[in-house]
A and B are shown apart, each in its own frame.
Chain A
């Protein structure tokens, strides 16, 4: 007959309703802490990822594209689109002081392709001059992409070695990018030769919604990094003042709105989490107190048969720890499951970049959430435990409560 170690378990099992209620409440606290922190962290990681992917101080786009918010829609809102400006602007801008490096990009909206139920954004870049997307693409594709190679975003339903058709042209999937939590996850990247070939094919098939343009004489946007002697703001003003028909945008300004929304979302989530925690801890303290009051005769009996105050406190704390650990693990795992399963839905609903941290960070976050929850549980029970370990046993033995 083993009772000594199993007494806390038996006490919990003997009152399943109370144990389940406390475990559920603890799960809610752990879920709130873990999921709330993870959502905020994922949003911040997503924003950082977006900043990294843009990877330039300035973006220069046709003036009308800026006015119609097309660039913002493509980069931030997941819209597809295409706009072009004369490639000679490249030479004009290159002559300005303060330009350290510059590379052109081409945007083309696909018609339906094998990978996707809806058109996707195709982004062409020049591997020789590019500095913004290449570092990221190189992590998935060590060599330079060949003509008619495409590198696809992580959310697209195709794999390396597959063939995709855009405007009747067969493209070879050379690599699949790692998840970024941004709209680039649904984009297709290729070199400038390939995208021009696709544009020509679109024109030949009369599918050129983008108008009558010569693919060899246009670019969609220029990515610019400024040298250390100048600020991005100086160069932006300089370009906007001196180069006609284009608009320079600081990438920091472009994502300022996202950053602001993220701050608002983080405050809201943080506030809600704090409110749930304060309420939850209050309920826990009350529950432990009520529970201890209801069991006061049991504790008096234990004192009578020789259980010391310290041992009595440890029995109550063991029960608390069991509830705390089980509840916290359930809550954190539930949070993890929900966020992994519904991360994309959350991203869509929030309209913000959302990137879950890596596995080790998730594990670390789960350990922290579990530890904080268990610690809070123990502190919530501390008062009741202290009170009960100091009960006047004789008063209870004589029928008092």
Chain B
């Protein structure tokens, strides 16, 4: 399975103005199986935009995202949503949670919402354990710190064993120890065959990556290690 961006351009209209700007310009990128790609760049350079386009959440102005040859944006909202649920795991930049559910229920939500088979709860608990917050499984997300919420998000993104993992600054609120934990987990997932794209500002990220890219003014360039 491969996820490939072909000549992606994303143009945003400025609110209240007739002008617009390009977050991405004719960008090509292939996310290959078993590969962890680090994406860096200044704020507003188009990193998150590219990640969201790969996630099927933001339709490009032009270009295609091909999944095994099929443009995912040619699918309707229903099939695209199913694809997002089954193949893609997203760790968002912000903290997102359903506050009426427990931490464990939040982690398991992508699975139970779609009636997935298997012992979801055990898997969810294992992920929480792996990320060092299993004791918070029954807590409400509102009781968690920023770092704990970040780890909960990571567990939720991985609950369905996605083939593609898209992480937008997944270590933003974390200390060095937990930053290492997250990168090791993402590296492990890549080694197990997942395609992993990590948007980050971490200096040490390259040591977990197969390649590192930099995006500037909507254009990608490779950074040699």
Which residues of A are interface residues toward B (Cβ below 8 A)?
A: 1-4, 7, 10-11, 13-15, 297-298, 300-311, 392-394, 397-399
Contact = CB atoms under 8 A, between A and B. Distances in A.
Interface in B167-198: 168
Given A397-B57, A399-B93, A4 B115 contact: yes
A4 B92 CA distance: 22
Given A3-B109, A7-B113, A14-B100, A306 B86 contact: yes
B77 interface: yes
B87 to A, nearest CB: 9
Interface string B14-54: 00000000000000000000000000000000001100100
Given A310-B77, A311-B81, A398 B94 contact: yes
Contacts of B97: 298, 301
A394 B49 contact: yes
Contacts of A14: 99-101
Contact of A3 (B84, B99, B101): B101
B96 A304 contact: yes
A308 B78 contact: yes
Contacts of A300: 96
Given A10-B101, A397-B94, A3 B108 contact: yes
Interface in B117-153: 120-121
Given A1-B108, A394-B52, A307 B100 contact: no
Contact of B113 (A4, A11, A310, A398): A4
Contact of A11 (B55, B78, B92, B100): B100
A301 B96 contact: yes
A7 B52 CA distance: 26
B59 to A, nearest CB: 10
Contacts of A303: 57, 81
B163 to A, nearest CB: 14
B105 interface: yes
A14 B141 CA distance: 12
Nearest to B114: A306
Interface residues of B, number: 37
Contact of B112 (A4, A15, A309, A311): A4
Given A4-B113, A309-B77, A397-B94, A298 B57 contact: no
A3 B156 CA distance: 15
Contacts of B108: 1, 3
Residue from A10, A301, A310 whose CB has the most chain B CB atoms within 10 Å: A301
B7 interface: no
Nearest to B156: A305
Contact of A308 (B77, B94, B115): B77
Contact of A306 (B105, B110, B112): B110
B98 interface: yes
Contact of A307 (B81, B90, B96, B99): B81
B223 interface: no
B88 to A, nearest CB: 8
B85 interface: yes
B61 interface: no
A3 B48 contact: no
B1 interface: no
Contacts of B84: 304-306
A-B complex: 4 closest residue pairs judged by Cβ atoms: A306-B85, A14-B100, A308-B81, A301-B96
Contacts of A308: 77-78, 81-82
B94 to A, nearest CB: 5
A138 B114 CA distance: 66
Contact of B98 (A13, A301, A393): A301
Contacts of B70: none
Contacts of B98: 7, 11, 298, 301-302
A297 B94 contact: yes
Nearest to A311: B81
A399 B98 CA distance: 16
B122 to A, nearest CB: 10
Contact of B57 (A2, A10, A394): A394
18 contacts: A1-B105, A1-B108, A2-B112, A3-B112, A298-B96, A298-B98, A298-B99, A301-B92, A304-B96, A305-B85, A305-B90, A305-B110, A306-B81, A306-B84, A306-B113, A308-B78, A394-B49, A397-B48
A397 B100 contact: no
B57 A393 contact: yes
B58 to A, nearest CB: 4
Nearest to B76: A308
A304 B113 contact: no
A398 B48 contact: yes
B224 to A, nearest CB: 30
B57 A304 contact: yes
A311 B112 CA distance: 14
B174 to A, nearest CB: 18
Which interface residue of A3, A300, A393 has the most chain B CB atoms within 10 A? A3
Interface string B212-223: 000000000000
Given A1-B112, A310-B78, A394-B52, 10 more contacts: A1-B105, A297-B94, A301-B96, A305-B110, A306-B86, A308-B77, A394-B48, A394-B57, A397-B57, A398-B48
